[in-house]
Amino acid sequence: MAANHSNAHNGALRGPELLARVATDFLGLETRYPLASGGDSRRVYLDSTAPTLMMGTAHRAMEALLGHYANTHSLLHNSAKLATQNYAWAHERVLSFVGADPDRYTAFFAGSGATAGMNRLARVFRDLRPGRDTALVSIMEHHSNDLPHRKHLGRVLHLPAEEGIGSINLEALEQLLVQERGRVNYVAVTGVSNVTGIINPIHDIARLAHAHDALVLVDGAQMVAHVPVQMSGRADPAEDIDALVFSGHKTYVPGSPGVVIALKEQLRQIDPVEVGGGMVARVLTDHYSVTSKFPDREEAGTPNIPGAIGLATSLEVLDRIGMDFLFAEEEKLLSYALEQMLAVPGVVIYGDTDIERCPRVASISFNIEAVHHSLVAAILNDYHNIAVRNECFCAHPYVIEMMPEETAEFVALSDEAVENLTSPKPGMVRASFGLYNTVDDVDRFTAALRDISANSAGYTPLYRIGGSDHEYLHTSFEAAPESLFNIPGMLDSLLANSG
Ligand SMILES: Cc1ncc(COP(=O)(O)O)c(C=O)c1O
């Protein structure tokens, strides 16, 4: 029934009509929570940079697959054949979505997000290019695109951001490439910042890196769901991207795997980093041979088949909507949000807000002057039912660079003092958007910011600092998580539907 629903309604829809239909078909858009002021309201979800909500069509595709579920790597029983074929389609879908030539690139699934892929590629490039021990990493990176290079490759040099703008500084990149020539293994940059939403010029970066014999690795975690990507086939082949990773759970399919797209020619030259079942041609007690087939060679163990197929379904839907069109639509909503936020007294937005000069998408990080970020996020949740994220978003160096004065004390602390801190850490609030967010969501959000900006003195005494993270907690109101959603408590009703 689920699969028919999708076919019957979506048919051959594309572009704006399909977007209109898909945008209202996500799980969780109607979720309601109680408010500190009494009653309840619909949650406005502005935390898509962390994970996006689940696309209904992808969810139904996963459910439909489960009716045929079996492991891959067998072509003898029907379910195994179906699983194998659909799983192969998922890989093809990924390659075509990111514009990667299937003759040259392979796509493989790894772990539960971009982090697994980043760790894998850091080890791949280390083994591929021994002696080149340095990665150039922008200061904008999520820790996932920084720490794996420190740990597996060894030496990381950080590129500064353009002062007052927040985007990558290409002159500094070129200088480092010249200065470190022969040692730079690769340049690792994010396609889109998870803090400011600033879009990096990844093809200019690739051209520079390749001219200095460095590879380029793009963190596409915040990019692929929002910005069209073309890894290969550029007019200037030096602009092609060597490798890209992204997270399925940020691409509208929670529970789907991390994705790596890399050059077969490079992977072929080294032993796969991970070994186990499914990636070997033969195993004897004293010897094993690794299959030459891609992506099998890179996918040891039983894969997350439903997740991969759900993700491929989401990518198919995004492609049918059209990524150029979707990007333009999201840019309009982001511009509107920026304009409305800038009109709120005391709001400070990080990164250049002129999107003509500095393109950005999906995320806006901000503070309200003299109101702690943790208090802002708590009031947004408790009084307005708006879900945002706060603090440093796993991008400490970038946040520190964007607000040096406010973070100076924190930076000066010892590791031990940070561990034992009993006051809230410095940081920002981040509102982030998915294709399901509307002008109405932005209006509710900016009305809430106006309320906080005008009434922070009234809110402050209602809060205390507490909890394991030393955040702002309401003194008398708590919508306890177990009262809102609790599987053991729901089990009887879940079981009641089992017969
Ligand atoms: C830009 C960026 N890169 C990497 C990651 C890590 O992704 P994951 O947690 O899915 O492994 C994130 C997560 O927020 C991110 O925003």
Q: Domain 31-49+322-487 falls in which CATH fold?
A: Aspartate Aminotransferase, domain 1 (3.90.1150)
pLDDT score at 2: 37
Q: Are 193 and 363 spatial neighbours (Cβ–Cβ below 8 Å)?
A: yes
pLDDT score at 329: 98
pLDDT score at 268: 96
Length of the chain: 499
pLDDT score at 480: 87
Q: What are 117-139's pLDDT values in tens digits? A: 999 999 999 999 999 999 999 99
pLDDT score at 381: 98
Measured in degrees and rounded to the nearest 5, phi and psi for residue 102 equal -65, -20
Which 8-state DSSP code applies to residue 42? E
What are the boundaries of each domain within the chain? 31-49+322-487, 60-319
> Residue 113 CA: which ligand 1 atom is closest?
10
Q: How far is the CA of 258 from the centre of ligand 1 (A)?
A: 10
Q: Are 459 and 453 spatial neighbours (Cβ–Cβ below 8 Å)?
A: no
Q: Are 423 and 360 spatial neighbours (Cβ–Cβ below 8 Å)?
A: no
Q: How far is the CA of 296 from the centre of ligand 1 (A)?
A: 25
In whole angstroms, give the CA distance from residue 365 to residue 370.
Answer: 16
| β-bridge pairing 184-190 and 215-219 | parallel
pLDDT score at 164: 72
pLDDT score at 353: 94
Mutational test site, ligand 1, from 52, 115, 223, max ligand atoms within 8 Å of CB: 115
> Residue 193 CA: which ligand 1 atom is closest?
1
Residue 50 vs residues 256, 387, 432: alpha-carbon distances, Å: 14, 11, 8
Residue nearest to atom 14 of ligand 1 (CA): 50
Residues tagged active-site: 394
- All residue ranges of the chain with pLDDT < 50 are 1-9
In three-state secondary structure terms, 348 is strand
Residue 126 vs residues 132, 150, 467: alpha-carbon distances, Å: 7, 11, 41
Note the pTM of the prediction, 2 decimals.
0.95
Q: How far is the CA of 361 from the centre of ligand 1 (A)?
A: 16
> Residue 115 CA: which ligand 1 atom is closest?
11
Q: How far is the CA of 221 from the centre of ligand 1 (A)?
A: 5
Q: How far is the CA of 487 from the centre of ligand 1 (A)?
A: 27
pLDDT score at 276: 95
Q: How far is the CA of 461 from the centre of ligand 1 (A)?
A: 35
Mutational test site, ligand 1, from 222, 229, 433, max ligand atoms within 8 Å of CB: 222
> Residue 250 CA: which ligand 1 atom is closest?
10
> Residue 111 CA: which ligand 1 atom is closest?
11
Q: Are 185 and 125 spatial neighbours (Cβ–Cβ below 8 Å)?
A: yes
Residue 12 CA from chain centroid, whole number: 29
Q: How far is the CA of 247 from the centre of ligand 1 (A)?
A: 7
> Residue 394 CA: which ligand 1 atom is closest?
14
60-319 is a CATH 3.30.465.10 domain: no
Residue nearest to atom 9 of ligand 1 (CA): 113
- CA end-to-end distance (rounded Å), the chain: 18
Q: What are 81-105's pLDDT values in tens digits? A: 999 999 999 999 999 999 999 999 9
Structure tokens at 253: 């399919």
Residue nearest to atom 10 of ligand 1 (CA): 113
Ligand 1, CB cutoff 6 Å, lining residues: 49, 113-115, 142, 144-145, 190, 194, 219, 221-222, 247, 258
pLDDT score at 395: 93
Partners of 409 in the β-ladder = none
**Tokens 């890894």 label which residue?**
231
Mutational test site, ligand 1, from 121, 143, 194, 224, max ligand atoms within 8 Å of CB: 194
pLDDT score at 11: 60
Residue nearest to atom 7 of ligand 1 (CA): 114
